[in-house]
Every structure is written in C-alpha cells, then in structure tokens.
Amino acid sequence: TKQEMFAIATHRSKMRIPAVTWIHPTNGAGFLRCSQPKQGWRSTKSHTESKYFSLICSPDNPLIWIMDARPQINAMANRLKGAGYEDLEHYREEQYTVRMKFLGI
C-alpha cells in the first residue's frame, strides 16, 4: 500500500526504498538498490521493510545478499549520524536468509 511504501521510505536515508533495477534472465534473482537504513545506535527494525523483502524474495531461493559498497568502518561511523547499515539480527526470524558483504569502495 501507499502507507507501507512510505513507512519503508522513512526507514531509509533520503527516503530511497529498495527498488528492483535488474532481474537475472535465467534464475529470476533480482538486483535492488537503496540508500542506507536510518537505524542509528538503537538499530531499529522496520517490520514493513521485512515484509517487503519477503514479497520480492524468490520462494525457490530465499536468500538475499546485501552488498554495501562502503568500507565497513565508514558504515559503522555513519551510525553516529543516525544512519548505519543493515543489522542482520533483524532478519533471523524471517522466511528468507540475509547475508551481507562490505565492498570497501
């Protein structure tokens, strides 16, 4: 719904929701882009965003890889500004698996 998309957007810096930008032609895996979450030190979870991820995740391969282009130290420092990076603990109880890699660019 429009309200759910707004809730997801408010959880992200610059209100950039995770958006599908490419889909693999054979296995259907999607590539999404978004901005960093506004979690800060409290590391708040967005239940609406978790629901959104479950809707876009393939039931045949329920694995989501989060590739953060930044060095991990930069992402950690951004928590001081109220932003940060994905907290994998938030996804432990979900129907999909989330893994993360910092690319250090």
Binding residues for substrate: 78-81
Round to whole Å and give the CA distance between 96 and 28.
16
**Cα–Cα distance for residue pair 22/56, rounded to 1 Å:** 12
Residues 6 or more apart in contact with residue 44 via CB below 8 angstroms: 11
The annotated binding site is made up of 78-81
Q: What is the dihedral of CA 4, 7, 11, 12, to 10 degrees?
A: 70
Quick check: 45 and 38 in contact, CB under 8 A?
no
Both tokens of 10, joined, read 């408010």
